[in-house]
């Protein structure tokens, strides 16, 4: 302990006593107030609900999962999306309804676990993910791939 204390420049720190500097603490309080006022001004000008909803939609739905089976499911109004790992069916339903403007009838979820793959002498890990199969009301459609 003594060896580390000899490198400190302030003698108050060598003895183990901490010195209190009121000007430094007052400056910190002023900086915190300025930051709080700056963030308050930003939130007042933009609607808080619109920003949170759009951010959560992009956080929940990562991208559409496009495979042969997924394209066959589109014929019966079911669409497959890769989603974030920690979301539930209600959040997925709300995100799809808000983003695509359709009525969701049913949501089914599948968790694909991570797997190990051999590559020569080494081992690689293929990351797992969660996907959701979303059933849409009859007469409505989602354009997953632009034509």
User: pLDDT digits over 22-74, tens only?
Assistant: 555 566 655 656 665 555 544 443 344 445 566 677 789 999 999 999 999 99
Distance, CA of 53 to CA of 64 (rounded, Å) = 19
pTM over 0.85: no
Q: Where do the domains of the chain lie?
A: 49-136
Q: Which residues pair with 115 in a beta bridge?
A: 126
Distance, CA of 11 to CA of 126 (rounded, Å) = 56
Distance, CA of 65 to CA of 63 (rounded, Å) = 6
For tokens 């669409």, what's the residue? 79
Distance, CA of 76 to CA of 136 (rounded, Å) = 9
CATH, range 49-136: 3.30.70.330
């Amino acid at each position: 302990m003594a060896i580390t204390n000899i490198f400190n420049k302030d003698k108050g720190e060598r003895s183990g006593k901490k010195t209190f500097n009121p000007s430094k603490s007052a400056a910190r309080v002023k900086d915190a107030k300025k930051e709080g006022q700056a963030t308050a001004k930003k939130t007042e000008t933009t609607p808080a609900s619109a920003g949170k909803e759009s951010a959560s939609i992009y956080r929940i739905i990562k991208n559409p999962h496009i495979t042969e089976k997924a394209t066959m499911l589109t014929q019966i109004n079911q669409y497959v999306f890769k989603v974030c790992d920690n979301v539930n069916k209600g959040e997925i339903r709300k995100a799809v309804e808000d983003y695509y403007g359709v009525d969701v009838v049913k949501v089914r979820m599948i968790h694909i676990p991570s797997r190990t793959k051999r590559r020569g002498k080494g081992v690689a890990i293929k990351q797992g993910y969660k996907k959701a199969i979303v059933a849409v009301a009859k007469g409505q459609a989602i354009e997953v791939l632009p034509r």
